[in-house]
Amino acid sequence: MALLELRNLHVALEDGTEIVKGVDLAVASNEVHAIMGPNGSGKSTLAYAVAGHPAYEITEGQILLDGEDMTEAGADERAQKGLFLAFQYPHAIPGVTVTSFLRSAINAIRKARAGGVEDPVPVPEFRKELFAQMERLKVSRELASRYLNDGFSGGEKKRVEILQMAMLKPRIAVLDETDSGLDIDALKIVAGGVKELVGPEMGALVITHYQRILNYIKPDFVHVFVDGEIVEEGGPELAHELERSGYAKWEKEKV
């Protein structure tokens, strides 16, 4: 069964403008799917709608997580069900440190899984896991005690998004341009972190502009996304083709 399934998904902005115009997509465990498309085609809108952002309205279609209809569910419920979104533009939360943010997020998920009963992760266990993941993802200890994303460099924000993913161990990870803004070494580390988690327990949906990250996380499927729709699907070779010829082939149909 697919971990994430989108059925004829339509998403509109608050003013009613339709951005996502009927997307069908199924991501199973052990699979990496890549979505590639031009600026403004609606990729982040799709990601936000999947994550349950209240500003993006699902006007038609369905979102299923592990076979369960989550179209009407709130963002927290989707996260508890194992969905994780790494933001293209992560927000700062002044006053909340990376460490306390992570601990709250983990505890919220644990509570939901324990049927609403508080089941906080023991602090020594949490710290051990946190330090191990930070070591692996080359996130400095100094960063963990700072306020989340407050004054972080572009690359630091992206690494901390992946640190969150590594700590939360989602079943389905949606990564919105996690590669952009990363230097070459960071790209390898971040991609390695994602690759390690993809397996029987997790599938991933990677939104990207560049085939480069796909050298490190090989996609099973590439979906070309233009003007709110998937216009072509294929294997990893399609990403190489896009790098060569761009999106003109599909975009000119609009004129």
- Residues at the interface with ligand ATP (CB under 6 A): 13, 19, 37, 39-45, 55, 88
With respect to ligand ATP, which residue has the nearer C-beta, 99 or 208?
A: 208
Cα–Cα distance for residue pair 163/90, rounded to 1 Å: 13
| Sign, Cα dihedral of 135, 189, 180, 87 | negative
Residue 41 partner contact from Mg ion, ligand ATP, none using kind-dependent CB cut-offs of 5 to 8 Å? ligand ATP
Angstrom CA distances, 115 to 101, 110, 118, 157, stand at: 22, 9, 9, 32
Cα–Cα distance for residue pair 42/224, rounded to 1 Å: 12
With respect to ligand ATP, which residue has the nearer C-beta, 98 or 224?
A: 224
With respect to ligand ATP, which residue has the nearer C-beta, 47 or 144?
A: 47
Beta strands in 37-167 (DSSP E): 57-65, 68-69, 83-86, 93-97, 147-148
With respect to ligand ATP, which residue has the nearer C-beta, 11 or 98?
A: 11
Q: Give the shortest CB-131-to-ligand ATP separation in angstroms.
A: 33
Q: Give the shortest CB-1-to-ligand ATP separation in angstroms.
A: 28
In order, the DSSP letters of 100-113 are HHHHHHHHHHHHHH
Residue 117 partner contact from ligand ATP, Mg ion, none using kind-dependent CB cut-offs of 5 to 8 Å? none
Residue 40 partner contact from Mg ion, ligand ATP, none using kind-dependent CB cut-offs of 5 to 8 Å? ligand ATP
Asked if residue 3 lies in contact with residue 31, where contact means CB atoms within 8 angstroms, the answer is no
Q: Give the shortest CB-230-to-Mg ion separation in angstroms.
A: 16
With respect to Mg ion, which residue has the nearer C-beta, 43 or 103?
A: 43
| Bridge partners, residue 135, by sequence | none
Closest residue to Mg ion, judged by C-beta, is 44
Q: Give the shortest CB-50-to-ligand ATP separation in angstroms.
A: 12
Residue 114 partner contact from ligand ATP, Mg ion, none using kind-dependent CB cut-offs of 5 to 8 Å? none
Helix/strand/coil for 73: coil
Q: Give the shortest CB-89-to-ligand ATP separation in angstroms.
A: 9
| Bridge partners, residue 225, by sequence | 230
With respect to Mg ion, which residue has the nearer C-beta, 46 or 130?
A: 46
Residues engaged in binding Mg ion (CB under 5 A): 43-44, 88
Nearest to 9 by CA among 86, 69, 89: 69
